[in-house]
Amino acid sequence: MVSRIVGSVVSANIFRFVICVMRLNRCMKTGMSHLSDFQDNFHCRFFACRQICFSRSSVPAFSRFSVRSMADSAFKKIQIQRDDTTFDAYVVGKDYAPGIVVIQEWWGVEVEIKNHAIKISQLDPGFKTLIPDLYRGKVGLDAAEAKHLMDGLDWPGAVKDISASVNWLKANGSKKVGVTGMCMGGALAIASSVLIPEVDAAVGFYGTPSSELADPAQAKAPIQAHFGELDHIVGFSDVTAARNLEEKLKASGVAHEVHIYSGNGHAFLNRSPEGVRRRKSLGDSDDDEAAVELAWSRFNSWMKHYLV
């Protein structure tokens, strides 16, 4: 009996290790040119990967892998050219439906943002969603690494990626195109309304752009924004940032809505097992299904009004 139990535990850990190595190999495709950078990058990802594989998470490794696989299988992977670079993007939805560019959180293109894109594609009357890979294949395995990736992002370059994504959708059957995003993606969605003339509507979730990137007072497309009352990221997505955004949008003259959800914190939309675990590990609020449903309902009404 004891040997069977030990064997089961060992098998589970071996499976977790295999998944860990797969993730590590994917993360290692960074295209670094200096050996010292490569070594630093390797050690950083190894320990982050080890922490995920062998931590006492309430979510089994197999469950996380299964959810990720199901999300991946829904998308068509394409490549988009802009300037002198090419980037990957992931598309799901009806061919000739209104388009929505869905911009990643600071984690990168992973299961949570893919789940959001799938959900959006299925909202009435049906949308064609596209996720541009702003990190060029890199994914943050923990908050520290995600912050490092976001801090190193070429924000004006990301806006160019989003612009190319909007134009790709319009060239491939979508007459009108909106932009949305969460966290880092929310800030970029609002910036897109200012900087990309082809955007027909924008919805940002818990994120505002820096003044160096874009001034919302110069917005050109209608903007809807959503924030949690208990969000603690000062100057980016807290209540003060939300109120400042609202004042700037009033000055812009564009149609706008700013919603603040009582009792909710940052990333309150996230509902995957991994997303919930991440949110709670950072001290954010418990699940509030009523707030989530209300936010999605408002999102759907906004995009339907301006894109259909």
- pLDDT averaged over 10-residue windows placed end to end, the chain, 308 residues: 42 46 46 35 38 36 46 90 96 97 97 97 98 98 94 98 99 98 99 99 98 98 98 96 99 98 94 82 78 98 99
The predicted pLDDT at position 232 comes to: 92
d(CA 161, CA 302): 24
The predicted pLDDT at position 46 comes to: 35
The predicted pLDDT at position 278 comes to: 81
d(CA 46, CA 25): 10
d(CA 235, CA 112): 24
| CA dist 294 → 13, 178, 209, 269 (Å) | 40, 20, 24, 10
d(CA 267, CA 295): 12
The predicted pLDDT at position 260 comes to: 98
The answer to whether the beta carbons of residues 89 and 161 sit under 8 Å apart is no
The predicted pLDDT at position 14 comes to: 44
**pTM metric for this prediction:** 0.78
The predicted pLDDT at position 34 comes to: 35
The answer to whether the beta carbons of residues 307 and 98 sit under 8 Å apart is yes
Q: Distance between the two ends of the chain, CA-based, in angstroms?
A: 62
Residue 189: exposure state from Cβ atoms within 10 A (0-12, 13-18, ≥19): buried
Q: Letter for the amino acid at 23?
A: R
The predicted pLDDT at position 160 comes to: 98
The predicted pLDDT at position 285 comes to: 64
